[in-house]
Amino acid sequence: MPATEKSLIRRIRQLSGKPALARIPLGIGDDAAVLRVPAPHEVLITTDFSLEGVHFRREWHSPESIGHRCLTRGLSDIAAMGGQPLAAFLSLALPAKLPQRWVDGFLRGLLGLAHQQGITLAGGDTAQSPGAGSNAKILADIVVVGSAPRGKALRRAGAKPGDSIYVTGELGASAFALEALLAQPKKKLDPKMHPAHFYPQPRLAVGRYLRERGIATSMIDVSDGLSTELHHLCEQSRVSAYVAAELIPRAHDATLEHALHGGEDYELLFTAPANRKVPRSIAGVAVTRIGKIRSGPARVSLLEGLRRRELRPGGWEHFNDPRRSSGKRSSGRRSA
């Protein structure tokens, strides 16, 4: 059983370390935290759930991996704005009988990534999860606050006809691992063999580079799958897109379907003017041109050799998948 709420907060505070007072004059322990954002900057804010049985399973994911993935979800959103993360806030509800070592592992995973990215856990909320026994689930909501110079944050809107479409890293590795887990739910996967699934890295340095150099015209992170995110980008930019299947950088073992529809890769998808030189690698991460933006309604076409087909959003959507009722997550093959 976890400690009382007060001692849980004390533990979080202890593990979080002292915030940098110049940026966070007041962290955990008051009614609200106080943050200072550099004067010509705007504040970026994003919130993301990590719910047991929806976003992770205790049988599959170690507490460290769950904590890491929880924070990655928020940091990746800040990366997709080209932002600088500043602080995180964690609302955490725990079952009464959860072992303290689980909580410590979760915090280690989350705070390890926070430390690596130079941000502070500055506040949040704690509660006991509703329900009894195995019906009581671990419920986390992460808030990440960042900043970007006024008017410079990279939005989903902004892609122009003629722009090239790029993606960072490789796609499909997380979906491949998830499919393996779903196929043999009792078998554990070695996190070291599947880092993209268990310890995904938010592409903060790449996002900032693209914003600082004024390279990208629009950007989004690939959390729900390339097909879904590219549709979002087209909708917001009021353009259409086409991508070439052979250009999409696929992770080892991943199929084209994994790369097209698999979620949780946390790579960045962005557009840049056709004549803009874009490095092949930024901050050690590969950058690959995969397609082009056109005028027209928000639709995505996939070119495969001589064939061309419409690529519908095939990524994960809550409330819409019968498999979800069993606590499974789409394996990224829904529209295959």
Identify which of residues 80 and 175 has a Cβ nearer to a second copy in the complex.
80
Q: Checking phi first, is residue 54 left (phi over 0); if not, alpha (psi -120 to 50) or beta?
A: alpha
To a second copy, the closest distance from the beta carbon of 186 in angstroms equals 20
Q: Where are the beta strands (DSSP E) in 169-239?
A: 218-222
Whether residue 291 contacts residue 245, with contact meaning beta carbons closer than 8 Å, is answered with no
Identify which of residues 115 and 150 has a Cβ nearer to a second copy in the complex.
150
Identify which of residues 218 and 240 has a Cβ nearer to a second copy in the complex.
218
To a second copy, the closest distance from the beta carbon of 211 in angstroms equals 12
Determine phi and psi for 58, rounding to 5 degrees.
Answer: -65, -30
DSSP-derived letter for residue 135 is: G
The residue assigned the tokens 């379907």 is: 257
Identify which of residues 41 and 258 has a Cβ nearer to a second copy in the complex.
41
To a second copy, the closest distance from the beta carbon of 246 in angstroms equals 28
**Residue 45: exposure state from Cβ atoms within 10 A (0-12, 13-18, ≥19):** middle
Determine phi and psi for 143, rounding to 5 degrees.
Answer: -115, 130
CA gap 183, 187 in Å, rounded: 9
Identify which of residues 239 and 254 has a Cβ nearer to a second copy in the complex.
239
CA gap 313, 226 in Å, rounded: 8
To a second copy, the closest distance from the beta carbon of 305 in angstroms equals 32
Identify which of residues 91 and 335 has a Cβ nearer to a second copy in the complex.
91
Identify which of residues 66 and 254 has a Cβ nearer to a second copy in the complex.
66
Identify which of residues 21 and 247 has a Cβ nearer to a second copy in the complex.
21
DSSP per-residue codes, 76-88: HHHHTTT-EEEEE
Selection from 264, 139, 113, 272 nearest residue 194 by Cα: 264
CA gap 98, 127 in Å, rounded: 13
To a second copy, the closest distance from the beta carbon of 145 in angstroms equals 6
Selection from 35, 46, 106 nearest residue 76 by Cα: 46
To a second copy, the closest distance from the beta carbon of 267 in angstroms equals 13
Whether residue 35 contacts residue 84, with contact meaning beta carbons closer than 8 Å, is answered with no
To a second copy, the closest distance from the beta carbon of 171 in angstroms equals 18
To a second copy, the closest distance from the beta carbon of 155 in angstroms equals 5
CA gap 86, 147 in Å, rounded: 7
